[in-house]
Amino acid sequence: MLAFIVSRLLQSLAVMLAVAFLCFVLFNFVGDPVNNMVGQEASPAERAEMRRELGLEDSVAVQFARFLGNALSGNFGKSYRLARPVSDLIVERMPATLELVAVAALLALSMGIPLGVLTALRRHTVDSAALMTFSLAGVAMPTFVIGILLIYVFSVECKGWAPALGLPADWCFPSFGRGETVKLGWWNSGLVTAAGLKAIVLPAFTLSLFQMTLVLRLVRSQMLEVLRTDYIKFARARGLTNRAVHFRHALKNTLLPVITVIGLQVGGLIAFSIITETVFQWPGMGQLFIQSVQFADIPVMAAYLVMVSLIFVTINFFVDLLYAAIDPRLRLDRARLGTAGG
């Protein structure tokens, strides 16, 4: 097992290095940050001096080596745009993204699973058909369209229809931002104020819609399969109630693949929150990244991409370990390969 872990760790490290290097090669194409850093009056000599000062004149290999050296000592440099240490910026923005992702994942599970069960059990009803159509839209519609649509309905047009439905005039949702946030230590939380909770509804729903429909469809198909199996028939033959058959026996057996998928999707949620964050002006890491791209703020881009790949690599690492723990054949094969290779 140890050999297996070591080999996986080495592979993860290689992936990280490759990602970091690819980022650096790509940075050659995002342009020159210096133009954004000095006023239009700056002379060519001043620009050249600044470029030299930032080390942009060095070759990609030298820049990459310097970045690696600094990153290993935990120093990601200073943002060209905001003149602040990158690690501070990321730590400041992380709570916003993680809260958004957590709420979105929660929404995806808490709505996707019951709806999946519902559509599986009531296969030929109108609400199931409607839900399945809706889920198709959720899978197919791009995130920014969903976000803008929700803003249009629930914060712009809402001013008209909410009072008509007898809802209070201030019922409508904010179209941007995190509402009120409270500092809990270094963690800036929006989940403990009413305004903050209200502000997270639309972005979290937008972000979760894809995963929600994914879970819905997954649960539904698993459920349909399980309901056809012999042990469900036997359970029914034993005279168990529908409730016990469906939830105690059938649902439990459908959840394993769902949880695996969601685990893998959390990394995706973090990475894909970029679009949701941009649409809702959600001050998270994704937005920080987008702004950095437009400014050619290389230190922030590098740190962000390395961090996201770290999250992916870590999740995959643990999933691999889990699979290995479950399936001994895999473990043995990989271990042999690992020792042979090392």
Partner 1 sequence: MLIARLFVAAAVTLGSVSLADAKTLRWASQGDALTLDPHSQNEGPTSAMNAHVYEPLISRDPSLAKVPALAVSWKPIEPDTWEFKLRPGVRFSDGTPFSAADVVFSYNRALAPSSDFRAYISSIKEVKAVDGLTVHIVTDGPNPILPDYTTSILIMSKVWSEKHNVTKPQSFKDKEETFAVRNAMGTGPYVVKQRDPDVKTVMEKNPTYWGAANFPGYPDELVYTPIKEPATRVAALISGQVDFVLDAPLQDIARIKQTPGLKTEETAQVRTIFLGLDMGSAELKYSDVKGKNPFADPRVRQAMYQAIDINAIKAKVMRNFAAPAGLVTAPGVHGYTKELDQRLKYDVAAARKLMADAGYPTGFAVTLDCPNDRYNNDEQICQAVTGMLAQIGIKVDLQARSKTLHFPKLQKKDSSFYLLGWGVPTLDSHYVFTFLYQTNDAAKKVGGWNYTGYSNPRMDALTDSILKEIDPVKRDQMIAEAWALAVADMPYLPLHHQLIVWSMSDKVTIPIFANDSPNFKYATIK
E strands, 67-181, are none
- Retrieve residue 215's tokens: 């879970």
**Which of 21, 171, 187, 317 contacts partner 1 by CB under 8 A?**
171
Q: Residue 84: which residues within 8 A CB-CB, separation 6 or more?
A: 78
- Retrieve residue 6's tokens: 């070591």
- Retrieve residue 97's tokens: 């993204």
Window of 2-10, 75-83, 207-215, 331-339 that interacts with partner 1 by CB under 8 A? 75-83
| Ramachandran bin of 317, using left for φ above 0, alpha for ψ from -120 to 50, beta for the remaining angles | alpha
* Residue 47 binds partner 1 (CB under 8 A): yes
- CA separation for the pair 73, 4 (Å, rounded): 28
**Which of 143, 222, 278, 309 contacts partner 1 by CB under 8 A?**
278
Binding-residue total with partner 1 (CB under 8 A): 70
Cα→Cα distances 31→49, 61, 78, 297, Å:
17, 17, 18, 10
* Residue 37 binds partner 1 (CB under 8 A): yes
Nearest distance from C-beta of residue 82 to partner 1, angstroms: 5
**Which of 241, 281, 314, 339 contacts partner 1 by CB under 8 A?**
281
* Residue 57 binds partner 1 (CB under 8 A): no
- CA separation for the pair 156, 153 (Å, rounded): 6
* Residue 44 binds partner 1 (CB under 8 A): yes
Window of 31-39, 208-216, 243-251, 307-315 that interacts with partner 1 by CB under 8 A? 31-39
- CA separation for the pair 226, 130 (Å, rounded): 23
State which residue, 135 or 287, has the beta carbon closest to partner 1: 287
Helix H or strand E encompassing 35? helix 34-37
- CA separation for the pair 151, 205 (Å, rounded): 11
Window of 144-152, 228-236, 253-261, 326-334 that interacts with partner 1 by CB under 8 A? 144-152
Cα of 130 vs its chain's centroid, Å: 28
Window of 3-11, 74-82, 215-223, 242-250 that interacts with partner 1 by CB under 8 A? 74-82
Nearest distance from C-beta of residue 243 to partner 1, angstroms: 17
State which residue, 281 or 339, has the beta carbon closest to partner 1: 281
* Residue 133 binds partner 1 (CB under 8 A): no
**Which of 83, 164, 237, 340 contacts partner 1 by CB under 8 A?**
83
Helix H or strand E encompassing 62? helix 60-72
Which residue, chain included where needed, has tokens 């699979």? 323
User: What does the binding site for partner 1 look like in residue numbers (CB under 8 A)?
Assistant: 29-47, 50, 53-54, 78, 80-85, 88, 92, 111, 115, 127, 148, 151-152, 155-156, 158-159, 167-168, 170-179, 194-195, 197-198, 201, 278-281, 283, 287-288, 290-291, 294-296
